[in-house]
Amino acid sequence: MDKSFQEKLHLFAKYALKGDEEAMRFVINILLSLGLPQTNAVAYLFVYQSIMNTYIDLKEECRKCGGVCCRFGEPVELYNFDIEDLKALSIDLSRYIFKSGDRLYLPRPCPLQNGWACGVHSAKPYACLSYPFAVEDLQKEIISSHINSKPPKPFIPHFCIAGQKVWSIIESAIREHESIYGKEPTPYDLLEHVRRKIATNT
């Protein structure tokens, strides 16, 4: 795949993870159109992450955890669009980022963390917005072993109590959808179902 097209796809995915509905439809359509159980799993994981980022207040859980995901792990890969978003905050990025090969990274522990929270919340990089459900490395076993079109059970690190809370909400929404409609929700159905549940507080 052409590199600039790939970067554009990731940019759409970043918008989608920030709650942009059109971008979400675009990304899910591409994934589902591939017709593979693995890409179907990715579409669900993507929806889980979008629900986490957009619809559920997790400040208390992340405060309790202490921001472990920003302190440990591989460096955070930055795309060109991440750099532009960070630059818009007038941060002197040269103090924080480093280059390896042709890519730029933030180290971990992340120097932009402020206490337990992200110090650049409005310009959070794509990789950070993907944590934990849409991080390919974390979910690769789940994705590669997926053999049907059902919503996959994600891998959630034991310390990520925010991810566990989100999964318990999603899991109950899946069960509820099954009991009402007699079938598992598609990724779109799931997104709608959770959105409705949260809007009506049920």
Binding site for ligand SF4 (CB under 6 A): 61-62, 65, 67-70, 76, 106, 110, 112-113, 118-120, 124-125, 128, 131, 159-163
Query: Which residue number, 34 or 88, has a Cβ lying nearer to ligand SF4?
Result: 88
Min dist CB 17 to ligand SF4, Å, is 12
Phi-psi region at 106: left, alpha or beta (left = phi > 0; alpha = psi -120 to 50)? beta
Min dist CB 65 to ligand SF4, Å, is 3
Cβ atoms of 28 and 167 within 8 Å: the answer is no
Cβ atoms of 170 and 194 within 8 Å: the answer is yes
Query: Which residue number, 130 or 186, has a Cβ lying nearer to ligand SF4?
Result: 130
Query: Which residue number, 31 or 106, has a Cβ lying nearer to ligand SF4?
Result: 106
Query: Which residue number, 96 or 188, has a Cβ lying nearer to ligand SF4?
Result: 96
Which residue in 114, 108, 156 sits closest to 135, CA to CA? 156
Cα radius of gyration (the chain): 17
Other Cβ atoms closer than 10 A to 198: 15
Min dist CB 66 to ligand SF4, Å, is 7
Min dist CB 11 to ligand SF4, Å, is 17
Query: What percentage of the chain's residues is helix, strand, coil (to nearest 5)?
Result: 60, 5, 35
